[in-house]
Amino acid sequence: MPRIITLTPNPTYDFAVDADFVEPNRKLRCKNPKSHPGGGGVNVARAAHRLGADVLAILTAGGLYGDAVKGLLGEELIPIRAIPVRGETRIAFHVQDLKGDHEYRFNLPGAEMTNAEVEAMLAATDAAIRDGDYVVGSGSLPGGKPDDFWARAARIVKDKGGRFVLDSIHGVRPALDEGIYLLRLNKFEYPALAGRDLQWPDEIIAFASDIVKKGGAARVAISHGGDGAIMASADGVARAPVIKIKAESAVGAGDSFVGAIAAAMLKGADDEEALRRGAAAAAATRMTPGTALFRAEDVERLYAQATSRA
Closest to 6 in 3D by CA, of 73, 68, 94: 73
Bridge partners (DSSP) of residue 102 are 97
Handedness of CA 254, 257, 261, 267 (dihedral sign): positive
- The residues, any chain, with a CB within 8 Å of residue 294's CB and separated by 6 or more, are 47, 50, 256, 281, 284, 285, 287, 288
Selecting among 255, 270, 271, 298, the annotated active-site residue is: 255
Handedness of CA 140, 262, 188, 170 (dihedral sign): positive
The half-sphere exposure of 233 on its side-chain side, counting CA atoms within 13 A, is: 13
Residue 162 phi, psi (nearest 5): -100, 180
CA distance linking residue 257 with residue 167, whole number of Å: 10
Q: Is 18 a catalytic residue?
A: no
C-alpha 185: how far from its chain's center?
Answer: 10
Bridge partners (DSSP) of residue 232 are 220, 237
Catalytic positions are 255
